[in-house]
């Protein structure tokens, strides 16, 4: 094989290897995921906000939460930390990052917990539609908990997204039920 053909062969092989490596990695690398759920509630936004506004009591409207405890900071103030105990005994520790009574919204991050997510940040917001109805929007951005190229069963992107969709839907559906 001539020197030119050898170089072409090496370059071709190297490019194929890099291509496989990159395409394989992109397929399995934990991506940035986003979930948003909404519900229209036949109640004024102020009434809905009154149910949702207490960062220190998610269990007042989310059926999966048995107990909420502020473990650090002041409730409804950024940097407040809450510990959620779920109905099944699992726990989630979250930190409030923003709170706006005027904007009827708050944002928080998950520090640690049983959900199959990492780098999770979320916002809950209530928007008036008219004087007798409102829309609640719960959105989040996150990655799966298992960031490895080969996540454990039930720890992949699809499982993380499905779990957060179910968490949001369960809370919003119950909020509608108890508020209307």
180 residues of the chain, pLDDT tens digit each: 445 544 444 444 444 444 444 344 444 567 899 999 999 999 999 999 999 999 999 999 999 999 999 999 999 999 999 999 999 999 999 999 999 999 999 999 999 999 999 999 999 999 999 999 999 999 999 999 999 988 988 889 999 999 999 999 999 999 999 999
Q: What is the pLDDT of residue 155?
A: 86
> Would you say 127 and 117 are in contact if contact means Cβ atoms under 8 Å apart?
no
Judgement on whether residues 119 and 37 belong to the same structural domain of the protein: yes
Judgement on whether residues 45 and 91 belong to the same structural domain of the protein: yes
Measure Cα distances from 168 to 62, 131, 139 in Å.
9, 25, 8
Q: What is the pLDDT of residue 15?
A: 44
Judgement on whether residues 14 and 39 belong to the same structural domain of the protein: no
| 178 φ, ψ (degrees, to nearest 5) | -85, -10
- DSSP sequence for 112-157: EESSSEEEEEEEEEEEEEETTEEEEEEEEEEEES--SSSPPTT-SH
For the purposes of burial, counting CB atoms within 10 Å of the CB of 96, is it exposed (0-12), middle (13-18) or buried (19 or more)? buried
Judgement on whether residues 20 and 98 belong to the same structural domain of the protein: no
Q: Rounded to 10 degrees, what is the CA torsion of 24, 25, 27, 30?
A: 160
Judgement on whether residues 7 and 63 belong to the same structural domain of the protein: no
Q: What is the pLDDT of residue 28?
A: 55
Judgement on whether residues 14 and 63 belong to the same structural domain of the protein: no
Of the candidates 96, 101, 90, the one whose C-alpha atom is nearest the C-alpha of residue 121 is 96
Q: What is the pLDDT of residue 41?
A: 98
Judgement on whether residues 88 and 110 belong to the same structural domain of the protein: yes
Q: What is the pLDDT of residue 26?
A: 42
- Under DSSP, the state recorded for 58 is G
Helix and strand totals (H; E) in the chain: 3, 7
Q: What is the pLDDT of residue 64?
A: 97
> Would you say 44 and 134 are in contact if contact means Cβ atoms under 8 Å apart?
yes
Judgement on whether residues 19 and 45 belong to the same structural domain of the protein: no
Indicate the pTM of the whole model. Answer: 0.83
Question: In terms of residue numbers, what domain contains 92?
Answer: 31-179
Based on the structure, what is the number of domains in the chain?
2
């Amino acid at each position: 094989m001539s020197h030119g053909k050898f170089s072409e062969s090496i370059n071709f092989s190297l490019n194929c290897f890099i291509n496989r490596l990159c395409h394989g990695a992109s397929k399995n690398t934990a991506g940035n995921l986003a979930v948003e759920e909404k519900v229209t509630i036949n109640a004024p936004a102020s009434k809905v906000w009154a149910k949702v506004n207490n960062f220190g009591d998610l269990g007042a409207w989310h059926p999966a939460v048995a107990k909420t405890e502020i473990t650090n900071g002041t409730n409804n103030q950024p940097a407040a930390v809450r510990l959620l105990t779920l109905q099944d005994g699992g726990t989630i520790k979250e930190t409030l990052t923003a709170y706006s009574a005027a904007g009827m919204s708050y944002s928080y991050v998950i520090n640690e917990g049983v959900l199959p997510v990492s780098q999770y940040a979320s916002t809950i917001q209530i928007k008036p539609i008219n004087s007798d109805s409102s829309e609640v929007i719960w959105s989040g951005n996150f990655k799966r908990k298992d960031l490895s190229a080969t996540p454990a069963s039930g720890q992949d992107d699809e499982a993380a997204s499905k779990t957060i969709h179910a968490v949001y839907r369960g809370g919003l559906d119950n909020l509608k039920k108890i508020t209307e």
